[in-house]
Structure 1
Amino acid sequence: MGTWDVDGRQVREVSRRSGAVWTWQSDSEQPIEYEIEWVEEKDIFLYGSRVRPGGWSVSTLDPSVWTNDGTLEGAREVVERRMPSMPR
């Protein structure tokens, strides 16, 4: 857990009962918040974005691309590997 640099973004990792979530935001006048959530029980990744004060728009990431070995360490590796394809 903590904050780390992934592809030039400061990404914050937080554990949840359901798995883990990685968050970052854009460098713009009205920042967009992004998150990737790994749902351990289902071994799927969700992608969310929002502009405050609005709510989250959430979708499931393609499971054929966002594959994991079912562990937190594996999920972390997938996020690091796929982060360059995510919005800034």
Structure 2
Amino acid sequence: MSTMEIDGRQVRESSRRSGAVWTWQSQSEQPIDYEIEWVQEKDVFLYGTRVRPGGWNVSELDQSTWVNDGTLEGAREVVERRMSSMPR
């Protein structure tokens, strides 16, 4: 797992069997967990949110905007480039 700063947020990158995931948390009284998951086999990005102790709400991000070359490095570049459009 590694941590990077993207658009003023501390974002953790970790691997999953399906690909990779980038997670961060809001800076509010009741924090919201956010994640972007890259599913390597399908080369798609999923967006998840959760207010603890609840479960995750997950949706697929627009494939015409979240475009990747099928590699982890490419997925990382897409996340870094598109992070500014995601909630804080």
Q: Which runs of 5+ in 1 are unaligned?
A: none
Task: Name the structure 1 match of 2:79.
Answer: 79
Task: Name the structure 2 match of 1:67.
Answer: 67
What is the aligned-residue RMSD (CA, Å)? 0.5
> Match of 2:81, SS?
helix
Alignment coverage as a number of residue pairs: 88
Distance 1:68 1:36 in 2: 14
Q: 1:54: how far off?
A: 0.4
Q: 1:65: how far off?
A: 0.2
Q: Which runs of 5+ in 2 are unaligned?
A: none
Runs of 4+ that moved beyond 4 A: none
Distance 1:73 1:32 in 2: 27
Alignment of 1:1-88 (within 5 A): 1-88=1-88
Q: Identity over the aligned pairs, expressed in percent?
A: 82
> Match of 1:74, SS?
helix
